[in-house]
Amino acid sequence: MRSTARARKDARAARAEPHRSGSALSLEAFFGPEGPLAANLPGYEARPQQWQLAEAIEQAMEAGKPCLTEAGTGVGKSLAYLVPAVRAALRGKRTVISTHTINLQNQLMQKDLPLVLSLFTDAYEPVPYALMKGRGNYLCKQDFENARHDLFLMADPDFPRIRRWAARPDCTGDVADLPFTFAAWSEIACNQDTCRSQECHHYNDCFYYRMRFSAAQSKILVVNHALFLSDLALRRSDPNAGILPDYDHVVFDEAHHLEDVATKIFGIDFGSRRLVSLVERIRHIRGLDLDKARLQTLEDMNASLFIPFLQAGKSEFFFEEALQGEARVQVEEWTGKTCTAIEQLQKDLLEIAKDDETLRERLEGMARMCGRAREELSQLFFQQDDNAIRWAEVGMVGRGGKKEPRATLHLTPISVAGLLKEALWDRMEARKGSVVLTSATLANSGTFAYARSRLGVPEDALECLVGSPFDYKRQAMLYVPGHLPPPSPGQVYRDRAIAEIARILRLSEGRAFLLFTSRAMMNAVYDSLNGTLPFPLFKQGDMPPGKLIEAFRESGNGCLLGVQTFWEGVDVQGEALSCVIIDRLPFAVPDSPVIKARTQAIVDAGGDWFRDYAVPQAQIRLKQGFGRLIRTRADRGLVCILDSRLISRDYGPEFVQYLPPASRASKWPRVERFWRGELAPAAPAE
């Protein structure tokens, strides 16, 4: 790495020679106190962690190697990977940046990328960049035209509003720009099965392909994990069938979500309404002469197929739990008959399409949807795969009193490591490209061993783990009430935990996030505290998440109670959020079929499922919850974890050791002294 003296020399040279302001500087100088960022970003503070992260990423890009990185809150990791990406773009290389959340995509496109690009005054021409979204986000002009044959859509009172929106000269076709919600959007959105690509007469002015044309001209692309992994899945079966243009580097931000997204993308989900919805779409086509009895028979078959799952009496379960003995034989027989009926419907649609030019394009698309449904249904029951489990989930779906039971059948990979090795790691190695994984919570126990094992990361991957620039000893206290018993079912523990929560909230005067691992506990706390404290309480589910955050901020002293949604990706700065309360260590529920299968695979391989799977997952999740509190150097407050296992169990110290280095307390008087500012930062924990 460059010395500080060299960095200062580079910075002075940059001021003397403006053409060296971007790509010719060392990264230490670029991110330094006299570099381009400091000169152009008001309030910028140089952080050594940021340029160290940037150097590791650029080294990986230049060497064509994988790289695992973790950067604590406040490092500014998006700039740390965007600067190397832009420098690579100036050398003709394309980088794909993949995120998990829309919020981060918006931040990159609207703020971070324009800022970084403005710093490269030595560029011969602007570096083009683009946001890519999946097909389902865009209006399909062909399906929109076909809607005139659909009696159901034509009767929708919002359909004329869609027509006016689509006719606007500035219309992007992106559902995100639609100023209202259209319930039947999926009927007119771009669809892989109905798309005719270059054969479509709307191809040259297609909203979706216009986006792809723009992406093909860009050197930096922003996508989400689902789209990126869908591209990989398509290329597994057909190397020419990808969605993204060829690229040299990929950066996965929020990379701790990769395993979950890959699990979904490389698996199959088949809902009990899928065939029903397909049949309804076919019925709504005006002028279609098709045997209605055949369509009804297919619906009846579908209903019979799902009966054993809907009657299983469980919300999540393996196929074997619902299909015992004769029931399994019967369901497999129904599956075969249903697949045959779908195949016959597909043939009928294609036969009619031959003779009906006005309906040909639409019927051929419906036929492809039939083909995909038949293939996936067959795979669900008959595909042999030792790395996959078959399971179902059942729930009530609908609004108000119109809810009805729905089932979804899943074929899910137990491990995605081998799938990613083939689709991602080997492919990028062959292309001599780099893959960077970054997150504020990717490591556990100070290493990347868990992420490596779960994602199949190659052994030669580079690593970079940098902490936060914040002064956690001064800014935050971690409080674990030593007097509370370990979490357990029953009213006694619940009452004591609620009493402790009330005491904490009175001290903090509200201004708190309460993060729970279960809705039952969240609801119990809300019901007990609502009306007993002089602070407004906001509970997840009472309004959309964005509106909840807005109401919380505006209240000034509110308390927001939430589960999974609010553990990460929420940024509330200042005194409005001065306390985070976590009810218990966030161990995953061990009775989920996917977790059962994964922990059993670890045991079968001779490992310890608790140490190798449950603890790393909980550590990462706990860091995410802790990270809600301190967002700037000016923030100050408490993180309270109401789980005495952090003190009493042998794994507890390992959790605490790898949380941000806040002051610590297990007794209430010390918490009060910290809150009043009477506690010296270096004082030992009691």
Q: What is the pLDDT of residue 356?
A: 83
pLDDT above 60 (res 5): no
Annotate 59-127 with DSSP letters as a single string: HHHHHT-EEEEEE-TTS-HHHHHHHHHHHHHTTT--EEEEES-HHHHHHIIIIIHHHHHHT-TT-SS--
Residues near 492 by Cβ (< 8 Å), separated by ≥ 6?
485
pLDDT tier at 13 (50, 70, 90 boundaries)? very low
In which band, very low, low, confident or very high, does the pLDDT at 129 lie, cut at 50, 70 and 90? very high
Q: What percent of the chain has pLDDT over 90?
A: 78
Average pLDDT over residues 486-490: 90
Q: Is the pLDDT of residue 20 over 50?
A: no
Banded pLDDT at 21 (limits 50, 70, 90): low
The chain-wide mean pLDDT, for the chain, equals 91
Going along the chain from its start, the domains and CATH numbers come out as 1-44 (no CATH), 47-128+218-255+416-469 (3.40.50.300), 268-413 (1.10.275), 472-675 (3.40.50.300)
- Tell me the average pLDDT across 467-484: 96
Confidence at residue 15, expressed as pLDDT on a 0 to 100 scale:
43
Q: Answer with the residue of higher pLDDT: 578 or 9.
A: 578
Strand segments (E) across 137-248: 220-224
What confidence tens digit (pLDDT) does each residue in 165-222 have?
Answer: 999 999 999 999 999 999 889 889 999 888 888 888 899 999 999 999 999 999 999 9
- Per-residue confidence (pLDDT) for residue 183, from 0 to 100: 87
Give 591-639 pLDDT, tens digit per residue: 899 999 999 999 999 999 999 999 999 999 999 999 999 999 999 999 9
pLDDT value of position 42: 87
277 vs 298: CA distance, rounded Å: 12
Residue 2 pLDDT exceeds 80: no
- pLDDT at residue 22, as a whole number: 65
**CA atoms within 13 A of residue 254's CA, in its CB half-sphere:** 18
Tell me the pLDDT tens digit for each residue of 351-384: 998 888 878 888 898 999 999 999 999 999 999 9
- pLDDT tens track for 214-237: 999 999 999 999 999 999 999 988
499-514: average pLDDT = 97
pTM: 0.92
CA distances from 392 to 40, 320, 400, 433 (A): 54, 10, 24, 39
In this prediction, residue 284 carries a pLDDT of 82
Q: Is the dihedral of CA 4, 6, 11, 15 positive or negative?
A: positive
pLDDT above 90: residue 552 = yes
- Does the pLDDT of residue 147 top 90, yes or no? no
Average of per-residue pLDDT across 525-552: 94
Cα separation, 286 vs 346, in Å, equals: 18
Longest dimension (CA), the chain: 86
pLDDT at 292: 85
Map tokens 């939430």 to a residue.
562
pLDDT in tens, 378-416: 999 999 999 999 999 999 887 666 788 999 999 999 999
The C-alpha torsion from 121 through 123 and 124 to 127, rounded to 10°, is -120
pLDDT tens-digit readout, 247-300: 999 999 999 999 999 999 999 999 999 999 999 989 888 778 888 888 999 999
Place 581 in a pLDDT band, splitting at 50, 70 and 90: very high
524: pLDDT confidence band, cut at 50, 70 and 90? very high
Give residue-wise pLDDT tens across range 317-334.
999 999 988 888 899 999
pLDDT recorded at residue 515: 97
Q: What is the pLDDT of residue 25?
A: 87
With beta carbons less than 8 A apart as the criterion, state whether 510 and 559 touch.
Answer: yes
The tens digit of pLDDT for each residue in 42-84 reads 888 899 999 999 999 999 999 999 999 999 999 999 999 999 9
**pLDDT of amino acid 134:** 94
Task: Give residue 339's pLDDT.
Answer: 96
pLDDT the model gives residue 16: 41
CB atoms within 10 A of CB 166: 15
- State the Cα–Cα distance between residues 132 and 523, nearest whole angstrom: 39
Asked if residue 61 lies in contact with residue 249, where contact means CB atoms within 8 angstroms, the answer is yes
